[in-house]
Amino acid sequence: MHCSFCASNITKALERQQGVLSVNVSLAHEEVLVEFDPSKVEGWQLDETLRSLGYTVRDPDKVRSFEEEEKELRGARNRLLGSATLTFTALGIMSLYWLGVARPMPTWMRVGMIALALSNVFGFGFPILEMAYHSLRRLILNQHVLMELAAFGGLIGGFIGLFVDKRFPAPDFFAISVFIVSYHLLGGYASLLVRTKSSQAVKRLLSLQPQTARVIRDGKEMTIPVQQVSKGDLVRVRPGEAIPVDGVVVEGVSAVDESIVTGEPIPQEKRVGHEVVGGSVNTNGSLVIRVTKVGSESFLQRVAEYIEEARAMKPGILQLLDRVLRFFVPGVILAAVAGFTAWSLGAWALTGAPNLQRAAFAALSVLVMGYPCALGMATPIAMIRGGGLAAERGILFRSSEAFHVLQSVDTVVFDKTGTIMVGRPSVVRVLPVEGVSQREVLALAASVEALSQHPLAKAVVEAAREQGIFLEQVNDFQEVSGAGVRAKLSGKPIFVGKLDFLQDMGVF
């Protein structure tokens, strides 16, 4: 589906089926929700209706793979590039003609323009022609029909200029056929590109969750797909691994990076009884987690559903757009007919001679300039893309209406500091005790922290290196999960960590 016209076409076709009670089309999902009476119409008949319009039917419960989406995108891009090649070739020929370099146009150029027009309309543009044909069969007027009327109008005008009336500028008419097909393919590719990239943004969010989990059953550890994990299962997570499920810690102590949830860059200490979220990262200690949520109940799945819901919901501005588009194509066609009539019958009534050349150009101008796909794509595609970009940055829109009203927001209230943090801690000041320099304190701390993977440790080490401080080799390094680190330097113990950790170590 390219734009709101496609959604409207599907709705009209399905609603004409006997037994169909309601139809809801999601342009973002490329999905249709149909409520129907199975005693009057069957599901396969609805599938056939969609296929007859030129669409491919797939199971909504089976998410398309990255490779499938990229293959579809690659096909659309290749058609666009091929069509664009023909368009630029036609533009080069027409430029020579318009500038007077090739006037009158040589025979080989005329033949070339015919070949370019036919190749674009019946070659790269054939999928559009097929969809226009199926739409007309069901008496549905849409952007495909409008494009083909303009394209075939150009072909007819060109052949009239070649074989019937030399006053018709055949090259110009053939050029119209070439250009309009490329424009349509460009609109379709832009729409597909935005929807594909937004869909992949959601999939990248879901990819934070590991595909397997190490489950403890009957005292034995086994690795199984995360889809087979059940509530109540015990799952072991080793240091450095992503947590595969939502649950509660029943064994172990560790620091867990929950930045995907809170935005806070500092790992949080997790002990027995603490909740953990699937997709967060276990930084150092080993944990055993009792599973509390699986499948659609898990945090990441709910986040993905929120994003999809926001992309699917139709705010007031889109509902207004749908009402406008319902009358747009018939209006354009009527305007084209009116233009042709005015310069043919109208001119004949006033002057005694119809101006068929002007009549043809007037009708074609309306069909080409009134091409509606940009209008139908602009608003929904902007919202789809906005939802995808927001997801990449960890911003969730619970409703598409938020896009529409955001311009009027003058005050924003944040519920946690992580929302507005850079996401990377850094050393701002070093406050040494009397008798010790800042450089000495930073050197000792960085030498120990160099062996830790904690974000605060990395910040300390980075600050020392920025000042050109040499880091010394330490011995007997030990990391106390959620508290700090300890090591020996030249036989002297050094402790770096939280205040209560330092108190426990007898520092003061």
Placement of tokens 């832009």 in the chain: 190
Q: Which two tokens stand for residue 128?
A: 């559009």
DSSP letter string, 93-154: HHHHHHTTTT-SPPHHHHHHHHHHHHHIIIIITHHHHHHHHHHHHTT---HHHHHHHHHHHH
Query: Which residues are marked as active site?
Result: 415
- Please indicate whether residue 135 or residue 346 has the higher confidence score (pLDDT): 346
pLDDT digits (tens, 9 = 90+) for 449-496: 998 878 788 889 999 999 999 888 888 888 887 788 899 988 889 999
CA Rg, the chain, in Å? 33
Q: Is the pLDDT at 6 greater than 80, yes or no?
A: no
Let me know: does 15 contact 33? Beta carbons within 8 Å. Answer: no
Give the range among 64-68, 85-89, 278-282, 368-372 with minimum mean pLDDT: 64-68
Quickly list DSSP for 403-469.
Answer: HHHGGG------SSGGGGS-SS-------PPTTS-HHHHHHHHHHHHTT---HHHHHHHHHHHHTTP
Cβ atoms within 10 Å of 254's Cβ, excluding its own? 24
**pLDDT value of position 495:** 92
Please list the residues that pair with 246 across neighbouring strands: 293
Which residue is associated with the tokens 């055993």? 288
Taking phi over 0 as left and psi of -120 to 50 as alpha, with beta for the rest, 425 belongs to beta
**CB–CB of 387/343 below 8 Å?**
no
CA 488 to CA 367: how far, in whole Å? 81
Closest of 175, 158, 155, 148 to residue 88, by C-alpha: 175
Q: What is the pLDDT of residue 234?
A: 92
For residues 212 and 291, what is the distance between their CA atoms, to the nearest angstrom?
14
Q: Do 213 and 90 meet the contact criterion of CB atoms below 8 Å apart?
A: no
Dist. CA 498–CA 424, nearest whole Å = 19
Determine the length of the chain.
Answer: 508
Cis preceding-peptide flag for 60 (omega within 30 of 0): no
Q: Map out the domains of the chain with their CATH numbers.
A: 4-62 (3.30.70.100), 66-205+314-386 (no CATH), 212-309 (2.70.150.10), 438-505 (3.40.1110.10)
User: Please, which pLDDT band fits residue 268 given cuts at 50, 70 and 90?
Assistant: confident
Range picked from 26-35, 112-121, 399-408, 413-422 for highest mean pLDDT: 112-121
Question: What digits encode the pLDDT tens for the residues 18-52?
Answer: 888 888 776 655 678 788 888 888 888 888 888 87
